[in-house]
Chain A
Amino acid sequence: MYKISELVNTGKLLTSDGAWGTYLFKKGLASGSCPEEWNLSHSDEVYEIAKSYIEAGSDIISTNSFGSNLFKLSQYNLQEKLSEICQTSAEISRKAAGEEKYVMASLGPTGKFLIMGDVTSEELYNSFKQQAIAFEKGGANAVCIETFYALDEAEQAISAVKENTSLEVICTFTFDKSEYGFKTLMGISPQQMTESLILCGADIVGANCGSGFEDMIEIVKKIREVSARIPIIIQANAGMPVIENEQLFYSETPDKIKEIVPRLIDAGANIIGGCCGTTPEHIKVIAEIVGKFNQGKK
């Protein structure tokens, strides 16, 4: 089996998956309970989410482990279960993906700031290390370090994965549009992110969450200014929420993204999926477009 980045380097485009968190609540996750604990107590429901994305056409699916770090799990007094939760999350997605498709284990930020002295680099590294080792045991191909905003925390996460496993490293930041262009919470631009993450050893970089697919086009262009070669993954939110008739929904419906995704590909994205608000229907649309592009290339 090729590595994900090797496959991308052959010129192939890939489809990743959509939202997990919102999906879990839809399946009955109660307020006050830990989403990652569901890997142990509700593994069938978690499996169904993973499977629904495979059926929608994902080449790569993630895992239910966004908040599986020591700091978040401690809030539920589940820190002792970290390895078990992480390993199981990867096993569930592996079961849904089979041997043909890829599993990238989701790893979110801790919410702690090194700059504030909330936490030390070693503490961050140790949590990420434990998570990465368990993901590899559970059968993941890669770790997807996502929704990050700070370079110092990303550096710890990338090193922890690289130095302790042979998993591929995917790392994506979340950008907001500001007066000075796209920046993360910490003021990092897509260009700065790309330079630093490549130096840290990330195999694939990109952006996730944010304000939708449309804005990602600009972000991809900024990443491409720095590197023509690095594989880029984009997992966008389904636009911004709008209210109509007292109903809330995301503005970028599956139908709406039909015309955006090809432009995202033209800008230089290699792997496309969704974040908050996206569903298997979004993924179906993306997989179809990606499929057409791949055929055209051959």
Chain B
Amino acid sequence: MNEILQQLSLCIEKGRVNKDSNYPADMKGMPGAVELTQQALSEGTLAQDILNIGFLPGMKIVGDKFKDGKIFLPEVLISARAMSSAMELLKPYFQSGEINYKGKVIMGTVAGDLHDIGKNIVKMVLEGGGWQVVDLGINVNAEKIIDAINTNSAKVVGLSALLTTTMQNMKEIVRKIKSETKDVLVVIGGAPVTKAFADSINADGYFHDPQGMLDYLNKKMSK
């Protein structure tokens, strides 16, 4: 059983979707993430184990490499694609409650800012790490975020900004979230954002890369 899950993890890491895929060249003809997930399920492997032992370690390797600058976005995207294809097969188990997400994260690019690529990458890595992401899109104000926190009973918010002007909007959004909700972690990111800035506006965390945020959430929320 473990061998299948190890192989599955490798497929996620290398971005191998299914057996018909020509990618990556050195795995041609071999089963991909989809077939291995089907096989594991049919052999009675717990869906939770498939997620934890098969999916997450593969994405973790990719996230760490991206963090260290060893790989670039295409590799992350390819892995995320393999993972999401296989994840489809686990959907019924999430719905039945047999497996659970680690938690819900509300995400959005803050009001006045239209840049969403960074946010979308973080979303992919978090989902690849077993978190459910509620994506509010771009140009999002505090009311919309607070609304989403309440309707989803979420405990984590991720905010993104790429401009100095919109970084300033983050301050007001963080203040409102903190005053109108309880025990919600607010994590911020974006090219111009720094740890010092995060501290100055009372955000709970700043991370330079998606894996940093994922590692933080895994640690913080498992306590």
A residues near B (Cβ < 8 Å) are 21-22, 25-26, 29, 31-33, 35, 67, 72, 75, 109, 111, 113, 115-117, 149, 178-180, 183-187, 240-241, 243, 246, 248-250, 276-277
Contact = CB atoms under 8 A, between A and B. Distances in A.
A25 B112 contact: yes
Nearest to B110: A31
A21 B114 contact: yes
Given A21-B114, A111-B117, A116-B81, A186 B164 contact: no
Contacts of B197: 243, 248
Interface of B: 68-69, 71-74, 77-78, 80-81, 111-112, 114, 116-117, 120, 137-141, 162-165, 167-169, 192, 196-197, 200
16 contacts: A21-B163, A31-B169, A32-B141, A113-B77, A115-B74, A115-B77, A115-B81, A184-B72, A186-B72, A241-B167, A243-B196, A243-B200, A248-B164, A249-B164, A276-B163, A277-B164
Nearest to B80: A116
A25 B165 contact: yes
B81 to A, nearest CB: 6
Contacts of A241: 164, 167, 192
A187 B140 CA distance: 29
A109 B167 CA distance: 22
B184 to A, nearest CB: 21
Contact of A111 (B120, B162, B168, B196): B120
Contacts of A149: 73
A35 B167 CA distance: 18
Given A32-B141, A186-B74, A187-B72, 16 more contacts: A22-B163, A25-B165, A31-B111, A31-B140, A72-B114, A115-B81, A116-B81, A149-B73, A179-B68, A183-B72, A187-B71, A249-B164, A276-B162, A276-B163, A277-B163, A277-B164
Contacts of B72: 183-187
Contacts of A240: 192
Contacts of A72: 114
A277 to B, nearest CB: 6
A67 B69 contact: no
A183 B71 CA distance: 11
Contacts of A186: 72-74
Nearest to A24: B112
B57 to A, nearest CB: 22
Nearest to B114: A67
Contacts of A243: 196-197, 200
A199 B39 CA distance: 46
B200 to A, nearest CB: 6
Contacts of B192: 240-241
A176 to B, nearest CB: 8
A22 B71 CA distance: 32
A31 B81 contact: no
B81 A117 contact: yes
Going nearest first, the 8 A-B pairs with the smallest beta carbon separation are: A187-B72, A31-B111, A241-B164, A241-B192, A179-B69, A248-B164, A178-B69, A185-B73
Specify which of B81, B169, B192 lies most central, judged by the most chain A CB atoms within 10 Å of its CB: B192
A70 to B, nearest CB: 15
Contact of A185 (B111, B117, B137, B168): B117
Nearest to A108: B114
Contact of B111 (A32, A113, A178, A180): A32
B73 A187 contact: yes
Nearest to A240: B192
A235 to B, nearest CB: 15
Contacts of B69: 178-180
Contacts of A276: 162-164
B77 A116 contact: yes
B164 A250 contact: yes
A33 B114 CA distance: 10
Contacts of A22: 163-165
A31 B139 contact: yes
Contact of B137 (A21, A75, A184): A75
Nearest to A185: B73
Contacts of B137: 75
Contacts of A187: 71-74
